[in-house]
């Protein structure tokens, strides 16, 4: 994922960070005064809303020459009520659990205002049960491990809600009477646990769930202790998020009318807002996704569509199964999008965006994307790993872009470029962000850090690769000047007492969010740049290829990279870096 600061004019990063780190809590007025006083030079203060953490109120963010990221209409979307899922994966035949009075109302045909009241009641009472668990903050203990998710979701953007049902194929590695996984901001309306090989399962009363709101987890009691393979079936109902996290409501205008779309942003810990999951990088699994959306929507996900059926005013799109990947890389969009297309080395490549803009402004992205995909395959020693690659420009996106495998999502300013109106800086931004996200297809998606303390493995490497790729194909851009400016900004932050290491222990969601910063991106990238020059480029590349080959479709830790570089260079001292 490319954070906001990575798409900014890097010469101003140092000044921005100095204000952020010394001014205390940052308000809109404080930031405006900083600009007026000249503490932040060459900046245009634009009202952008950006979530700070998962559940905090929306806060302003500054962006250099970039328009607002989330329109107020998206933030102020009305709350609406989920209803029971329909036409979802068939649930096992079991006796239904006892329902609460509120759940009965949600699943009935009463007036919408009564459903809203009932839904709010269920959310308010979601954590009434206190229970002892052996799961602390930080990674889950891998007692239960998923291998396949089969999820079917119905999207209702005009009503601000969605429903979903699905099976999780998993293995209980120890005898336990409960399963702990991640879920947040949803009502779980049905649960069935079925040991593999048995024809019937056990229905679990939703009232018996133990919720941990602080960690975004839920513990499901399954009755007697069990070890072995099993199937967990769940049905959920939820509101579309309005702060750009999880499955969220996006809005854009078409022919003078505002329209509602569905977009996802799951990194780092928000896949759990879409469906109950083992929402950590080390729990890699395959995904079968089916989406039911308005018929006029273009519906996209990580993989190509396997089957598409229109029924009245609805469209049902079934996607091909993904390779093993982490939950935060799952993604979809549903809305009014047009595209331009190409192909490179047999891989279809498409640039999607607003119908009025993408055909004119998407050509630089398409041209550069084809170059970066071919170069990435050559550099990493492995062809592009998926059967297609889409990039999608959306109207409101909190990050610069996101590397969802096979379908990157971008803020419009990061992907669309109008050669008649846009300047050199806008061109550099598009080239940087496209190359950054493309590099993630190998370093981050194919091979993923085991836990978030290794985030720099993903982001610093993509940051460094973006510079090498842009310099290779667009040398006149002068990318190394921007790299140097970014490095100087990171050095200023690194000189402060409050600085941290590139690799920092993290446990909570707030701690994870906090390390998407200049230390991870810029300082981490500078370290890799030094290693590349110390080992020489051919040796460094050989080590990277060895790392990719050893850990493809798996997780890795920083010491795995050092080991690969040490083996490639025949210099055991490199392995001691970590």
437 in catalytic set:
yes
CA distance 415 to 365: 6
First and final CA of the chain: distance in angstroms? 24
DSSP SS3 for 370: helix
HSE toward the beta carbon, residue 13, CA cutoff 13 A: 27
Please give the helix or strand (H or E) that residue 551 lies within, else none: helix 537-551
Residues 259, 412, 437, 509: which is the catalytic one?
Answer: 437
Name the helix (H) or strand (E) containing 162.
strand 161-182
Q: Other CB atoms closer than 10 Å to residue 290's CB: what's the count? A: 22
Q: What angle do CA 542, 543, 548 make, to 5 degrees?
A: 100
Burial (CB count within 10 angstroms: exposed 0-12, middle 13-18, buried 19+), residue 244: buried
User: What does the alpha-carbon distance between residue 216 and residue 13 come to, in Å, rounded to a whole number?
Assistant: 33
Of 367, 362, 289, the residue nearest 325 (C-alpha)? 289
What are the C-alpha distances in Å from 203 to residues 61, 96, 233? 46, 6, 9
Nearest CA among 264, 265, 194, 196 for reference residue 234: 194
Catalytic residue ranges: 437
């Amino acid at each position: 994922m490319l954070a906001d600061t990575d798409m900014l004019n890097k010469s101003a990063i140092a000044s921005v960070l100095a204000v952020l780190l010394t001014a205390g809590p940052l308000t809109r007025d404080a930031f405006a005064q900083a600009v007026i006083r000249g503490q932040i030079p060459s900046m245009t203060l634009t009202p952008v809303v950006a979530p700070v953490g998962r559940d905090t109120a929306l806060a302003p963010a500054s962006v250099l020459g970039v328009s607002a990221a989330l329109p107020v209409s998206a933030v102020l979307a009305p709350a609406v009520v989920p209803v029971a899922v329909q036409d979802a994966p068939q649930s096992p035949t079991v006796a239904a659990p006892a329902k609460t009075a509120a759940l009965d109302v949600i699943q009935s045909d009463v007036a919408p205002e009564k459903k809203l009241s009932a839904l709010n009641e269920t959310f308010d009472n979601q954590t009434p049960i206190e229970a002892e668990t052996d799961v602390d903050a930080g990674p889950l203990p891998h007692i239960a491990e998923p291998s396949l998710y089969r999820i079917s979701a119905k999207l209702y953007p005009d009503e601000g809600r969605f429903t979903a049902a699905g099976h999780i194929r998993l293995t209980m590695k120890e005898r336990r009477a409960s399963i702990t996984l991640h879920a947040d901001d949803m009502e779980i309306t049905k649960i069935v646990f079925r040991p593999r090989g048995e024809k019937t399962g056990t229905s679990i009363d939703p009232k018996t769930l133990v919720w941990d709101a602080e960690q975004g987890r839920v513990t499901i009691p399954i009755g007697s202790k069990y070890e072995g393979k099993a199937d967990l079936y769940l049905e959920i109902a939820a509101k579309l998020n309005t702060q750009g996290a999880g499955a969220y409501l996006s809005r854009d205008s078409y022919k003078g009318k505002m329209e509602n779309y569905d977009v996802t942003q799951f990194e780092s810990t928000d896949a759990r807002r879409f469906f109950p999951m083992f929402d950590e990088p080390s729990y890699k699994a395959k995904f079968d996704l089916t989406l039911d959306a308005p018929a006029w929507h273009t519906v996209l996900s990580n993989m190509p569509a396997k089957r598409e059926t229109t029924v009245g005013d609805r469209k049902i799109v079934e996607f091909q199964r993904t390779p093993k990947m982490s939950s935060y890389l799952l993604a979809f969009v549903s809305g009014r999008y047009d595209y331009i297309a190409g192909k490179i080395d047999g891989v279809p490549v498409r640039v999607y965006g607003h119908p009025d803009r993408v055909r004119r402004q998407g050509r630089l992205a398409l041209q550069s994307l084809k170059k970066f995909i071919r170069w990435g395959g050559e550099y990493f020693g492995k062809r592009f790993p998926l059967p297609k690659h889409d990039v999608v420009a959306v109207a409101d996106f909190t990050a610069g872009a996101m590397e969802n495998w096979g379908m990157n999502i971008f803020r419009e300013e990061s992907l669309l470029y109008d050669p008649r109106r846009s300047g050199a800086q806008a061109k550099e931004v598009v080239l940087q962000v496209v190359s950054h996200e493309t590099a993630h297809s190998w370093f981050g998606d194919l091979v993923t850090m085991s836990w978030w303390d290794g985030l720099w493995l993903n982001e610093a490497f993509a940051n460094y690769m973006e510079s090498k790729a842009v310099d290779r194909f667009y040398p006149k851009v002068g990318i190394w000047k921007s790299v140097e400016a970014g490095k100087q900004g990171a050095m200023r932050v690194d000189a402060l007492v409050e600085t941290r290491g590139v690799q920092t222990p993290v446990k909570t969601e707030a701690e994870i969010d906090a390390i998407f910063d200049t230390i991870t991106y810029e300082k981490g990238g500078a370290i890799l740049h030094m290693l590349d020059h110390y080992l020489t480029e051919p040796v460094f590349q050989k080590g990277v290829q060895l790392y990719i080959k050893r850990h493809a479709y798996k997780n890795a830790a920083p010491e795995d990279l050092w080991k690969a570089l040490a083996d490639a260079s025949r210099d055991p001292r490199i392995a001691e870096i970590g």
